[in-house]
Structure formats: C-alpha cells, structure tokens
Amino acid sequence: MTQRMRQGAVATALLLGALLLGTTAACAGPGQPPAPHGPPAHGPAAQRGFTLVASGDVLPHDSVIAWGNEAADGDGYDFRPMLAGVKPVVSGADLAICHMETVYGEEEGPFSGYPAFVSPPQIAAGLRATGYDSCSTASNHALDDGADGVRRTLGAFDKAGVKHTGSARSAAEAGRPALLTAGGARVAQLAYTYGINDQPLPDGQPWAVNLIDERRIVADARAARTAGADVVVVSLHWGTEWQTAPDDDQLVLGRKLTASRTGGRPDIDLILGTHAHVPQAYEKVNGTWIIYGMGDQIAGTMANDDGDQDGRGNQGSIGRFTFAPPAAPGQRWRVEKAEFVPQLMDLTSGRVVSLPRALRDEPDRDDYQEARSSISSAVLSRGAAADGLTEGAG
C-alpha cells in the first residue's frame, strides 16, 4: 500500500542547506524571514532533559465543526473548549506534537466533513492554545482541496505560531523539517504519508506532500542530525484503517527505520504513527520507541469498514516520553521514561477527555472505564510493558 516518490536526493540537499543556513522551522512561509537560531547549547543547558508528548489524528467531521461554532456562540469557531480536557497533559510537556489530518478553508468557510474535508482554520489557534508546538500535515487528505488547501493550512499554522512539517508551499519548505528546542536539545520533526487518496500532486509541485520512502526518510534524518539535531522524530501516516494490530508494512518499515545507524548512533529517535483511526500498539524496536497508531484525538461519529458505528474511532492515546541527555558526547539522547495517557472524544459533550483525570472525578463512568481498558489493551498488545511503558497521569 505504500506509495514511493524518488525525490530523496533533492529533498535532502534542500534540507541540509536550510538547516545550515539556520532555518528554525517549516512554519516560515513564503516571504517570511526564518527565525535565527544559535549554536547548540553548552554547559548546564545542554544537560537538561525534556518531555515530549504526541497525539493522534485531528479529523473534524461536520459535528465537530458544529461544536466549534457552538462554542463561539454562533459567531465564528472556537476549538479551545473541545481540547481543554487534555490541556494539562499537552501544556505540561516541554514539547507537544499534534497531527492535522485535514486541510483548512477560508476564515468564513465554506467547510465540509467527510469525504473531502475542508476544516475551519480556527482549529490551529485551538491547538496552539492547548499547548501544541508543532503539527504533522502529511496525510491521505492533505490534497482534499488541492494546493490552495495546503497553502491555507500552513498559513493558519504560521499565524497561530504552530510549526509544521509534511506538506509544503515551496520546494525549499518541503526540504526542511520543523525544528524545535526542548530542554537542552534541538529536535527535528519530519513527516510523511503512505498516499494522498490517489489524487495527483499539483502541477509543478511534486514536493507538495511528503510521501513515504524509506531511503528518503533515512537521508532526511541523517541530514537533520548532521546539521545539529540532537533528537529526530518521524511522524508517519500509515497502517490499515480500523485494524488494531499494526500491518506488515508498518512492522517492516518500523524495523528498517529503527535499525538505521550512522557511526553506531540511531538515525531516528522516535516514530509517531497516525491514520488507522483506532489505538494501536507502542513497541520498542531496535532500542527505539514506535507508536504504530495513536488513534483519533478529534473526530465525530465514526463508522467502520462494515458501516457500523465504532466507538474505537473516538479513542486515542497521548504518548509521553522523557528524554535524558547523552551519557557521553556523540551518544543519543535516551528515553528514560515512556508513558501513554488514554483519551476519548466524548460525543455526548463534544469534548476530548483525558481518561485518567476524568475517572478520578467520575469513577463510576462505565463508558470511560471501557474506553480506558480498550485503549490500554491495544497500546500494550506488543509487550511494551516489559520495556517500561506505563499509563501516565492525565
């Protein structure tokens, strides 16, 4: 199912050049000067660890759009209340990464849900207010509204102050990751998707969306590392919808990517998966954590492949990883603590719920207990508990 695009050499050259010039993030749009960044930190700052959280697909169906409008009292859209339940988890981390599955429309619309999504750009402000720093935008819906949809989406993230990677408005933008600073580390986020729903790439824009290509991903990761990234995070939109178990493509690609090394040091430090619409396993492979699928963070009523409403489509997990500085120069930043926080898009309230926190307040909610159990079963299904993964406080 994986589509491949052989543009690795060009993309990697652009990436390395952009990094060496000091570009800090893909959020710098056309005509905007990139924010400068200095040399890697030294001294005490370089020894500070950091926490990173990441969450699943933001998929605004018509009902989600309506809830956003209702929260703004019918005058525009406000998605901050929808995400307020997970704000303590997200904003409490040093670095927070989201996944925007759809593209944005104009400020006043029109908007649409499934199957061709065009979402309110006010979602970007809601994500920023929740505490997100960067968002992957490579998905099978990334071209639902063509090049204009890409342009509007990235522009809205720029305006909100959220960095982004995975789709682009120019070849130069496509060739650089989102660059972030957390603790004493410089973090690079890269993002790719398995496909774009058989839509053609825009004329003259073969770089508009990053497609999964093993060699390109490794080359991009190595370029980011060479240019000074201490930690390389790869967001992958992959897998089989409605399948809890990771499919063979995920397993094979995950093994290959985590096995890639330069000078004995892994090229990739963390893999974050989206797309399946159900929670999938966490697994430590070749010493590197992979989340095969975080499930949906925001979604309306979800119907599975049989056309039946399936509550798993509103379940997800937030991955939380605590990175410690390297034990010696040239070694990797290591994950010293790995956690997951079960979450649920509660369709009765139109709010995202952190289940550990919600169950402290309402321990008798059977629906919350069942969702928590279902998520935990999926997350731990490949033996991650033996490698130290635990449920984190919400």
pLDDT in tens, 295-339: 999 999 999 999 999 999 999 999 999 999 999 988 999 999 999
User: Is residue 12 in some structural domain?
Assistant: yes
Alpha-carbon distance 307 to 375, whole Å? 22
Alpha-carbon distance 315 to 342, whole Å? 8
Q: Phi and psi of 108, rounded to 5°?
A: -100, 10
Q: What is the DSSP letter of 314?
A: G
Tokens read off for 393: 């406080």
**The model's pTM:** 0.90
| CATH number reported for the structural domain that contains residue 87 in this entry | 3.60.21.10
SS3 of 143, please?
Answer: coil
- Low-confidence residues of the chain, pLDDT below 70? 1-46
The neighbour count for residue 101, using CB atoms within 10 Å, is 28
Tokens read off for 23: 């570009």
User: Is residue 2 in some structural domain?
Assistant: no
- Extract the runs of DSSP E, i.e. beta strands, from 79-162: 95-100, 103-104, 118-119, 134-136
User: Is residue 35 in some structural domain?
Assistant: no
Tokens read off for 214: 């093993």
Give, rounded to a whole angstrom, the gap between the first and last alpha carbons of the chain.
Answer: 35
| pLDDT for residue 241 | 98
Closest CA to 5 of 103, 104, 138, 101: 138
Asked if the bond preceding 206 is cis, omega within 30° of 0, the reply is no
| pLDDT for residue 227 | 86
- Beta bridge partner(s), residue 124: none
Place of tokens 């605004």: 60
Asked if the bond preceding 115 is cis, omega within 30° of 0, the reply is yes
Contact 193, 212 (CB under 8 A): yes
| pLDDT for residue 39 | 39
The neighbour count for residue 355, using CB atoms within 10 Å, is 26
Alpha-carbon distance 223 to 250, whole Å? 23
User: Is residue 173 in some structural domain?
Assistant: yes
- Beta bridge partner(s), residue 279: 294
Q: Phi and psi of 244, rounded to 5°?
A: -65, -40
Q: Phi and psi of 17, rounded to 5°?
A: -65, -45
Q: What does the pLDDT look like over 192-247, one tens digit per residue?
A: 999 999 999 999 999 999 999 999 999 999 999 998 999 999 999 999 999 999 99
| pLDDT for residue 120 | 98
Contact 136, 100 (CB under 8 A): yes
User: Is residue 169 in some structural domain?
Assistant: yes
| pLDDT for residue 12 | 45
Contact 266, 260 (CB under 8 A): yes
Q: How many separate domains does the chain show?
A: 1
* Burial classification of residue 121, based on how many CB atoms lie within 10 Å of its CB (0-12 exposed, 13-18 middle, 19 or more buried): buried
Q: What is the span of the domain harbouring residue 281?
A: 8-28+40-391
| pLDDT for residue 46 | 52
User: Is residue 1 in some structural domain?
Assistant: no
SS3 of 315, please?
Answer: strand
Angle in degrees, CA 194, 89, 236, rounded to 5:
10
